[in-house]
Structure 1
């Protein structure tokens, strides 16, 4: 079954501030899909003052990585609001996979990043004119969609199946195109990123300096 396309269209991907409590807690149990729909308690998560600069620095690095021109010019990522949203989601998922085995400090930072991500989605939905009564429903649906991407990408990455990852990326980045590109290049790049992040020192995670290797032609 194809992963459902995202219906949310944020005003600006670079303004994404997301908020979803306990997503990191839900992730290790990849089969607990229903759980994610009920962990969204907006406005209750308080960012630790000592982590603010770290979270902002790390989030900026992830956003910068998701906006690399090569991804859009050569790896078939659509240069659209939703294309950029999908790319940032993929980068966040790789970051969460790296930090799930981190010490408590690294996991706290990762949680605050995903909280900031969903806070921004919440903010952008409201800017689109969705009233208070409709926001939780929209966010619950969006969380389920985001989880679907995490689940399908994780399954492919865990099994080392580049073709399966490419197929999932194709469905999500080009949901309405029968002639969609294979996304094999992007899949290969994401595997490279996963490998590079696995070797990143824990110190880099704890200070918000985990860097994504650049996309570009490979020798």
Structure 2
């Protein structure tokens, strides 16, 4: 009987992963992104802002010297894509298509996260602004200075996340800039 119950056990960092992911979503939903920066208030625009904040959080977690950091990073990633799956189903996307859509979102997230991380690691605000412009506005006209302001925001978030103790993050507690 114990073996069967083990199948239903939660993963060790699942709750913290969902709480950290929820905080990233809340940070991404600030009205100023849409009203002040002109980020498209669409499914894609919201996905891109969530992706930015989750990528910054995962970057922070993966860099922690404590071995729990990368495990929490994976838990946040898992929470994000479990949520994407649920959201697609709630929007009426059929079961046969959900997997393909989630895979495309996963690939888009990884590409964006890699571009943002490379720019942040190089301390290259222009490259970060360019990546954000390309991904957030997707070829639409970018309001003057919006990509640069969003890049400055991303850098501020990265700086705010960096010193936060892993113990707090492990409890699902995080602060965004």
- Bin of the TM-score, shorter chain as denominator length: 0.7 to 0.9
Matches within 5 A, 1:20-31: none
Corresponding residue for residue 176 of structure 2: 212
Indicate if the aligned counterparts of 1:166 and 1:186 stay in contact, CA closer than 8 A: yes
Matches within 5 A, 1:62-211: 62-102=24-64, 103-177=66-140, 179-181=141-143, 182=145, 183-211=147-175
RMSD: 2.4
User: What is the distance in 1 between the residues matched to 2:8 and 2:121?
Assistant: 30
Q: Alpha-carbon deviation of 1:149?
A: 0.5
Matches within 5 A, 1:46-61: 47-48=10-11, 51-61=13-23
Corresponding residue for residue 3 of structure 2: none
Q: Alpha-carbon deviation of 1:56?
A: 3.7
Indicate if the aligned counterparts of 1:47 and 1:112 stay in contact, CA closer than 8 A: no
Indicate if the aligned counterparts of 2:160 and 2:175 stay in contact, CA closer than 8 A: no
- Residue-by-residue CA offset, 1:154-200 (whole Å, 9 max, x unaligned): 111111111111111111111131x3234100001111111221122
- Residue-by-residue CA offset, 1:88-112 (whole Å, 9 max, x unaligned): 1100000001000232333323222
Unaligned runs of 5+ in 1: 1-43, 214-219
User: What is the distance in 2 between the residues matched to 1:61 and 1:124?
Assistant: 17
Corresponding residue for residue 4 of structure 2: none
Number of residue pairs matched by the alignment: 168
Point out the structure with the larger helix share.
2
Q: Alpha-carbon deviation of 1:128?
A: 4.0
User: What is the distance in 2 between the residues matched to 1:206 and 1:139?
Assistant: 26
Q: Alpha-carbon deviation of 1:84?
A: 1.8
Once the two structures are overlaid, the 10-residue window that deviates more, 113-122 or 77-86, is 77-86
Unaligned runs of 5+ in 2: 1-6
Q: Secondary structure of 2:96's partner? A: coil
User: What is the distance in 1 between the residues matched to 2:104 and 2:87?
Assistant: 15
